[in-house]
Structure 1
Amino acid sequence: MAETTKGFDLSLLEGDYNLSDIPDFTSTDAIELHELKRKLAEATGQARADISNKIGYLQFIQAADYFRDLVLEDGVVTADEAERVKKALQDYARAVRIKTRVDSY
């Protein structure tokens, strides 16, 4: 049975992922993101592409974590928060696709 919260069926938004799949964006991730952005300016060719992919992954994880935390702040997902749930899961799915592409190199 699909999980419902205040009459809202979360399975309509989740697809292959759910909010509990989204990792926390940590201070270590923030430092790594900052360093990667600094390195990007100096990188060329494949190194630049690799760094751009890592930056994209971290930015999508950061956004997904942010929206997940907003939605779960009060412990209840309401129908009004459906768009935030959708955004969090979309950002996480994008991060997974980037990570899969980077890992396949």
Structure 2
Amino acid sequence: MINSGGIIIGGDLNIVQPNKDIILPEFLALQLTYSYIQKELSKRAQGKTVVHLHNSDLKEILIFIPKLEEQHCFVKQFLLLDHLITLQQCKPLVFISLALKAIS
């Protein structure tokens, strides 16, 4: 997820500046990346080799926006799950590292 100063940058350099009083940038980024919105964006994308998505297409997408406190909870839970997945993926590497140290 790209979150720099509340700006989210897409492949065509579409710049979205969410109103932070209404929607968290992190929540919007997750919605654009992992929800039904991704399928909607794909439908509107144009081009075969270089795919384009116009700002006018972005403006047509309807997004469900829960209360800010719910967005905070959603983002927190997603980041926790992402962290747990990362830890799970690292377990074999830690085990191999420990095994190599034990052999040395």
Same fold, TM-score > 0.5, yes or no: no
Say which structure is richer in helix.
1
